[in-house]
Structure 1
Amino acid sequence: MRKIAVCGLSNRALKMFMEPVMYQFSQTNQIVGLLDIDPRREEICIEKFPELVGTPFYTQFEQFDEMIKTTGANTIIVTGRDDSHVDYIVKGLEHDLDVITEKPMVTTVKDAKRVMEAEGKSKGKVTVAFNYRYSPYHRKIRELIADGKLGRITSVDLNWYIDTYHGSSYFKRWNRMREYSGGLSIHKSTHHFDLVNWWIDQKPEQVFAHGALNYYGKDGELNPSPTDNRFCGTCKEQHLCPYYTRWFGRGTGATEDDHLNSDQKMEAYTNYRPDACIFDHEIEIEDTYTASVRYDKGALLSYSINFSLPYEGYRLAINGTKGRLETTEFHSPDRTPFPIPEQTIDFFPLFGSKEVIHVVKNDGGHGGGDPLIQEDIFLGPDPTRPYEILAGSEAGAYSIAVGEAVWKSTKSGLPIDIEQLLQHNYEEIKG
């Protein structure tokens, strides 16, 4: 029996991890301990899962040792705020526990090295929940490349679009603070960098990037007024804010987004509101990036992401010595202001006729990826799958290294060498 302690009772913890443990995989998995700094989160957790009444609950990181000793946990799930991940992961590894962590694994390369060093000394293993690998389209792309259909991969074009509903949510909450999230080149883009790294099975070597804060923050062109400390739920300028009026009527609360439960109230958690103004002066992370990445086997990545667009999705093209692959995905069809075509994967051989691939789909969140990664996490990897898909600490570290390099290149105007970045932080730790 896997005995699990959950560190961080976020909405993600409840929905993505605890719910399947409670109702699908309980024969081999049991939640034995809960830890969160906010007692109100325990109350909400128990309301959702009454079966956990009486489960030991802890409110301080310093109680971690006591929790493991008291509960006999052999696994921890880390689902707190991004910057809190590293301490729980390292502490769990010191206890020789297996660690399942939400993405991103940590928020800095320095912390990624801490995790990998701790794992090297531990009997425990780190699993990073990169659920987007498990989308049926993304698995099919991996299979096509692995089967050699495209030949040697030479270049990748990936353009990611976040709409005004989803994109603004990152600037209403703690994600807008680099010290908490690492900035969006880490909190969000590392998921995309991991996908590319995994698809082409190459390691990133060098990054050159540009970034800017174009839409949000104090200089946002659509800011109704230069006023700080506003909240959507109580703001008197709601009717002047196009981000608010696009999605919410005058009588509708503004606390629902892709990362919040639909029934969550603004007062649900202690000292936490998910509706801070997207034009606050404290916002200084970027909302727009373009980046070029060189890989160790010769592939080149051209990447962009924008967090304030009319629709959501991505456009992908992968070029190889035998042909080209193209696909376009539109997310959240109920928020897309035009008819959405069926997604296909189009293959153009270097010499020959176009092939349209219709992918077999499955239900579930994140394009059908969530149920499959949950099975791999809680039942063990599917033994019939001919390739590795469940990510470990090295994959987590390389995705973070690219994300941090994007930010550092944006600030310095210089290309950033990934191995030097990793080694530099390693020397910092040793010193």
Structure 2
Amino acid sequence: MKKYAICGVSNRALTMFIKPLLRQFSHGNKIVAVLDRDPRRFEVCREEYPELVEVPAYLPDQFDQMMKDTRPDAIIIASRDDTHLNYILQGLEKDTEVITEKPMVTSAADAVKVLQAESRSKGKVTVTFNYRYNPYHRKIKEMILQGKLGRITSVDLNWYVDTYHGASYFKRWHRLRRNSGGLSIHKSTHHFDLVNWWLDQKPLEVFAYGDLHYYGPNGEHNPEKEDHRFCGTCHVRENCEYYMRWTARSYQNSIRDDHLRADEMHLSKPGYTDYRPDACIFDSEIDIEDTYAVTVKYDRGTLLSYSINFSAPYEGYRLAINGTKGRIETTEYHEPSRIPFPFPEQTIDYYPLFGSKEIIHVVRNEGGHGGGDPLLLEDIFLGNDPRRNYPILAGAEAGAYSIAIGEAVWRSCKENKPIRIDDLLDINKEKL
């Protein structure tokens, strides 16, 4: 029986890890402890999963006691980003397996600490990069491995996050760089890791521009320049273009934004301690960017052109990969219920340098992140799928490179110069 301790009883932990461990992977796996800074989260967890009523709960400063009492074989980290490092280091110090949500940590310097600690430990780190498992992304990886593109010369990746999803990062703790590392780390590490994995190359240098356009006090949709407002109690919310986009004037049973709806629930029953999901997206304390344009140079010559916008009218991405033998194109429209116009089914279009275009319809599977979550969980809790002939589960090295690109993006924006990845990951390169 493999024993797990859950560090961070977040909504992600409840749905992504606790529920599957109890309902799908209970044979051979067991949750023996939960840890969080907020005791209210233990109550919510037990209300949702009565099976855990007898499982002991610990506060962060009781980590050592938890490990001594329950002796888990692995810890699963799904807490706030800036807390990941301490749990990872403590777990590795005790030679325990560590499974962590992305981003692994919030800075390249902390990523180096993880790599060094892992090199001294019998434990290992797994980073849950579920985008790798999306069926379209796996198919693209397979096409590259088959040599259909030849040597990859360039990648164009443009990511769009709609205001429904994008605003959630500016309502909550992510809005402060000290908590999340900024969205070039919290969110874009998903995308940088995906490209790193496709290419199987190491990033060398990053140049980027970024700014805060839609959110923050200078956002042109801000109905009034006043700090410390919350959507649930705001006196000008009927004049807020963001709030009214997802809400009818009668309010009752009309809220379409999950984060706004969560606030209504928060006001009607006891919520989490010191946590509000509806802080004003136009507050002046926001110190992260909502728009980036990035260039990354890789060690075998490939160039990545990447952009992301967190206030788009729809959600999805556009991708093109160019090689010496051909080109791949694909466009995803994500969350169709929020897209108010017709859009085509996603395909992968392959243009060989010599020959006829191929349109590939990918077989989809159910589950979150385009079907990626269930396959990721199977690899974590059942072992790697023996039918897959290429590595896909991410480790600490992958986590470190994705974070280094993300930090380089932010530093380049601030310093207006290219940033070398080696300067951020200051460690013995033979180990990377």
TM score, norm. by length of structure 2: 0.96
Counterparts of 1:41-60 in structure 2 under 5 Å? 41-59=41-59
Cα deviation for residue 219 of structure 1 reads: 0.8
Q: Which residue of 1 aligns with 2:391?
A: 388
Counterparts of 1:206-221 in structure 2 under 5 Å? 206-221=205-220
Does residue 369 (structure 1) correspond to residue 372 (structure 2)? The answer is yes
Q: Which residue of 1 aligns with 2:420?
A: 417
Change in CA separation of 1:327 and 1:148 when aligned onto 2, cut-off 3 Å: same
Q: Measure the CA separation in 2 of the matches of 1:261 and 1:151.
A: 48
Aligned residue pairs, count: 424
Q: Measure the CA separation in 1 of the matches of 2:171 and 2:258.
A: 10
Cα deviation for residue 263 of structure 1 reads: 9.2
Q: Measure the CA separation in 1 of the matches of 2:102 and 2:227.
A: 31
Q: Do the aligned residues in 2 keep the contact of 1:313 with 1:331 (CA within 8 Å)?
A: yes
SS in 2 for 1:171: helix
Counterparts of 1:270-285 in structure 2 under 5 Å? 270-285=273-288
Q: Measure the CA separation in 2 of the matches of 1:295 and 1:257.
A: 39
Q: Which residue of 1 aligns with 2:303?
A: 300
Q: Measure the CA separation in 1 of the matches of 2:20 and 2:57.
A: 20
SS in 2 for 1:133: helix
Q: Which residue of 2 aligns with 1:359?
A: 362
SS in 1 for 2:425: helix
Q: Which residue of 2 aligns with 1:95?
A: 94
Q: Measure the CA separation in 2 of the matches of 1:202 and 1:107.
A: 22
Change in CA separation of 1:409 and 1:262 when aligned onto 2, cut-off 3 Å: same
Q: Measure the CA separation in 1 of the matches of 2:399 and 2:370.
A: 21
Show CA shifts across 1:315-337 (max 9, x none).
00000000000000000000001
Cα deviation for residue 257 of structure 1 reads: 3.4
List gaps (5 residues or longer) in structure 2: none
Q: Do the aligned residues in 1 keep the contact of 2:328 with 2:351 (CA within 8 Å)?
A: yes
Q: Do the aligned residues in 1 keep the contact of 2:203 with 2:296 (CA within 8 Å)?
A: yes
Q: Do the aligned residues in 1 keep the contact of 2:230 with 2:280 (CA within 8 Å)?
A: yes
Does residue 379 (structure 1) correspond to residue 378 (structure 2)? The answer is no
Q: Which residue of 2 aligns with 1:66?
A: 65
Q: Work out the percentage of aligned pairs sharing the same amino acid.
A: 66
Q: Do the aligned residues in 1 keep the contact of 2:231 with 2:260 (CA within 8 Å)?
A: no
Change in CA separation of 1:178 and 1:197 when aligned onto 2, cut-off 3 Å: same
Q: Which residue of 1 aligns with 2:31?
A: 31
Amino acid at match of 1:50: P
Show CA shifts across 1:275-309 (max 9, x none).
00000010121000000000001100000000001
Cα deviation for residue 422 of structure 1 reads: 1.0
Cα deviation for residue 409 of structure 1 reads: 0.2
Q: Measure the CA separation in 2 of the matches of 1:72 and 1:80.
A: 20
Counterparts of 1:171-320 in structure 2 under 5 Å? 171-250=170-249, 251=251, 256-257=257-258, 265-266=266-267, 267-320=270-323
User: Which consecutive segments of 4 or more residues in structure 1 shift more than 4 A?
Assistant: 252-256, 258-264
SS in 1 for 2:332: strand
Cα deviation for residue 254 of structure 1 reads: 6.1
SS in 1 for 2:221: coil
Q: Do the aligned residues in 2 keep the contact of 1:155 with 1:319 (CA within 8 Å)?
A: yes
Root mean square deviation, CA, Å:
1.6
Change in CA separation of 1:174 and 1:369 when aligned onto 2, cut-off 3 Å: same
Change in CA separation of 1:359 and 1:352 when aligned onto 2, cut-off 3 Å: same
List gaps (5 residues or longer) in structure 1: none
